[in-house]
Amino acid sequence: MLKQVQHDGNKLAMRDATHADLPAIVQLLWDDETARLREDPSEPLDPRYIAAFEAIDRDPNQRLIAAELDGRIVGTMQLSFLPGLSFRGSWRGLIEAVRIASDLRGQRLGEAMILWAVEQCRARDCKLVQLTSTATRTAAHRFYARLGFVQSHVGMKLHLRD
């Protein structure tokens, strides 16, 4: 599904990623100071990226998004749709791994992506949309707050392997 969002006179195309987009998406994931040690954009791609893409692609409740501007992949995120018993059996949307190309940050592309993602969750009849952000990313926290997100919970992780 291709959806175009207007951005400064240009069309930011939001679409489901394809296998061919993987190198650009992994590069976006890597191009982040907190992720440089855990991601590897070198070619050929680690087969685990390909396996993860195929699992996401097969699952109707998962979407890996490519944001394209003038033929270039400039952003990505993963949308997950989660069923739950709380809130009387409501679904929730989860936004993960949001990235914008470093040379284009600060141009409101991320805002366009998040607002589009919220609409996707609304279209799936989700009760709420949630996301996590690394605790040190205070600028990202301000960004999400400006878009209406509230810091309502404390998130925790337990790493199980390297």
CB-CB contact of 82 with 92 (8 Å): yes
> How confident is the prediction for the chain on average, in pLDDT?
91
The confidence score (pLDDT) of residue 157 equals 86
What's the rounded Cα separation, in Å, for the pair 89 and 77?
A: 26
What CA–CA distance (Å, rounded) separates 120 from 24?
23
- Per-residue pLDDT band for 155 (boundaries 50, 70, 90) equals confident
For residue 68, the model assigns a pLDDT of 97
Q: What percent of the chain shows pLDDT beyond 70?
A: 94
Supply the pTM of this predicted model: 0.89
> Residues near 66 by Cβ (< 8 Å), separated by ≥ 6?
14, 15, 16, 17, 18, 21, 24, 25, 73, 75, 76
User: Is it true that the peptide bond before 44 is cis, omega within 30 degrees of 0?
Assistant: yes
Residue 97, sorted as left (phi over 0), alpha (psi -120 to 50) or beta, turns out to be left
Tokens standing for residue 82: 């989660």
Q: What is the DSSP string of 30-48?
A: HSSTTTTTT---PSSPPHH
d(CA 40, CA 44): 10
Convert the pLDDT of each residue in 89-139 to its tens digit: 999 999 999 999 999 998 999 999 999 999 999 999 999 999 998 888 888
